Structure 1
Amino acid sequence: MRLWSIHPRYFDAQAVTSSWREGLIAQRVLAEPGSSLRSHPQLQRFLEAEEPLEAVAAYLGGVADEAGARGMDLDRSRIIAAGSLREPLVVTDGQLDYEWGNLRRHLLERSPDVAARWARVWRPQPHPVFVVVGGGVAAWELA
């Protein structure tokens, strides 16, 4: 499961689609308290939110917004919460940089045109549910 901290504007179509799919999986896991996948490292920051389902719904909403801007049709009725956050989730600049390196490698392999469009971006903007703070790569990423 990969729930990118990066704004979906930097994604190719494959990353938009997979972010939607992975977000829906995360939503299902968070909605089922007994799920064995609740301990998945990618879910940690959503579980730390005051309302985890609202947090993942807001994440899905951001992906759906980007998809809509590209003319892609994602079924928003699959989002089961309102997606309103009182406070944004936190992502460190180190985590954002780490993910940016991973995403750039994927884009170079499968979507060189998209990689070229963003080649001059040193650090991308975060997904709208996140606010960037100083720090290293998340411990759950390295686990």
Structure 2
Amino acid sequence: MRLWSLHPKYLDARGLSALWREALLAQAVLAGRTRGYRRHPQLARFRATRNPRGAIAAYLRAVAEEGARRGYRFHAERIRPGRARMRLPVTRGQLDWELAHLRRKLWGRDRAAYRRLPAARLAAHPLFDVRPGPVEPWEERR
């Protein structure tokens, strides 16, 4: 499961579709509707909020908006009700790590998308507020 902290506009078609599916899975996990992935480290930042279901719903809405902007047919009605007027923190180190990870993925599967990535630092997903710091402790680094 990869719940990108980067803005979904940087993902290629395959990556955005995968993000949609994986965020829906995260929504099911946070709602207690599945037995798998309950201990997935990337869910820690959502669980740390007062309203984990609202936070993942807000995350999903931004992904759905990016899909709609591209003409994809993500079924936004699958996003469970819930509003979260919050911004979750994410470190600059995490965004930089994810950018390097995304570059590796795109180099292997979509060179055109790789070339479209800006050279400078990328924007975060709209749910996140960027702060200085290293890679997040929940990130599984190989």
TM-score, reference length from structure 2: 0.93
Question: Once the 2 structures are TM-superposed, how far is the Cα of residue 33 of structure 1 from its aligned partner?
Answer: 7.6
Map of 2:97 onto structure 1 = 98
Structure 1 position 126 matched with structure 2 position 131: no
State the match for 2:48 in structure 1: 48
The secondary structure found in structure 1 opposite 2:58 is helix
Q: 2:106 corresponds to which residue? A: 107
The SS at the match of 1:141 is coil
Aligned equivalents of 2:68 and 2:112: distance in 1?
A: 20
TM-score (norm 1): 0.93
Q: What are the within-5 Å matches in structure 2 for residues 1-143 of structure 1?
A: 1-32=1-32, 35=35, 37-82=37-82, 84-118=83-117, 120-142=118-140
Query: Unpaired runs of 5+ in structure 2?
Result: none
SS in 2 for 1:132: strand
SS at match of 1:5: coil
Any gaps of 5 or more consecutive residues in structure 1?
Answer: none
CA–CA distance in structure 2, aligned partners of residues 142 and 32 of structure 1: 23
> Aligned pairs, how many?
141
Name the Cα RMSD after superposition: 1.5
Tell me which stretches of 4 or more aligned residues in structure 1 moved more than 6 Å: none
Q: What is the one-letter code of the residue matched to 1:107? A: L
Give the partner amino acid of 1:10. Y
